[in-house]
Structure 1
């Protein structure tokens, strides 16, 4: 698994912005083991055919990959994992002014908000939950610097001894 994958086309961004596909990816934050479509469908309380369709779309653009196959009762089970720890959208792909891009961006923000809200409402064994949001006033240069500081801090946070997985998101946009 790579550390990060940069999404650089509208097609990739559209595929990953689907709320249901985002939920599939979140499964891997909660369970770091490879999962079959059947296992994902049970965890998501959905029919396997729906999950299979969305997994295939994520696989098609290189977000998920098959890491193992096992024969079970004459059926080949395929086990999937994300191809990277972090997925980022390329800063400038020349489509930010297109209405379709704006809709996709809104979908991503709404999906992240729903997932974070759900996580905040769940009981957590160690009590570690934090969600901050608000308004701040920055120059364009300060906003860019903030993004760089966050990216720099997060870039080398791999699995290490005594670490636990935490889900994070970052959105900064002009009001």
Structure 2
């Protein structure tokens, strides 16, 4: 698996930012799965999941990482091709890119909300969490410094034996009164 895949055209962004496809990507966080396993996990019919998996595979976001024969049927196991996905800056000059990035942000917040509700329903006394909402006052230089520190922390993050997965949502944007 690569560290990062760059989405380099508007078609890739359109495919990637579909809310259901984002759910598929989040579901594949821990281990490769078949279309049937994904469908069961997401409570959907396999044909719907298969269509969306094939679209993600077509743009190089998912790949087949294993095949197993079971009762004469070949099961294909899918997994993301990279740990993170980034939009190439040149795309931002193409017409329509903002709508799709907006869809991606909306989907991320919706998925994070669902994850948080799920977490609250299963929360144990010793679970760790950070939840913060507010306004922070920064100079442009402090903003850039904070972004750099967050990016460095995220780059260090990878799956290791002694780590736990945490959902995170971060957004820092100018507040207009």
Q: TM-score range by the shorter chain?
A: 0.7 to 0.9
Return the offset for 1:116. 1.1
**How is 1:116-135 mapped onto 2 (pairs within 5 angstroms)?**
116-122=112-118, 123-125=122-124, 126-135=126-135
Return the offset for 1:170. 3.3
Matched-pair contact (CA < 8 Å) for 2:10–2:91:
no
Task: Find 1:41's aligned residue among 39, 42, 49.
Answer: 39
Matched-pair contact (CA < 8 Å) for 2:9–2:91:
no
The verdict on how the C-alpha distance between 1:138 and 1:101 changes in structure 2, with shifts beyond 3 A counting, is: farther
Matched-pair contact (CA < 8 Å) for 1:120–1:129:
no
- The CA deviation string for residues 116-160 of structure 1, in whole angstroms up to 9 with x for no partner, is 111111223452333434333444443333222111112122223
Aligned to 2:71: 73
User: Unaligned regions of 5+ residues in structure 2, if any?
Assistant: none
CA distance in 2, matches of 1:147, 1:137: 14
* 2:109 is equivalent to residue 113 of structure 1: yes
TM-score of the two chains, using structure 1 as the length reference: 0.85
Bigger Rg, which one:
2
RMSD: 2.1
CA distance in 1, matches of 2:7, 2:141: 24
The verdict on how the C-alpha distance between 1:79 and 1:161 changes in structure 2, with shifts beyond 3 A counting, is: closer
The secondary structure found in structure 1 opposite 2:44 is coil
CA distance in 2, matches of 1:172, 1:89: 18
**How is 1:146-161 mapped onto 2 (pairs within 5 angstroms)?**
146-161=146-161
CA distance in 2, matches of 1:16, 1:28: 14
In the comparison of the two structures, how many residue pairs are matched?
171
Task: Find 2:90's aligned residue among 61, 78, 93.
Answer: 93
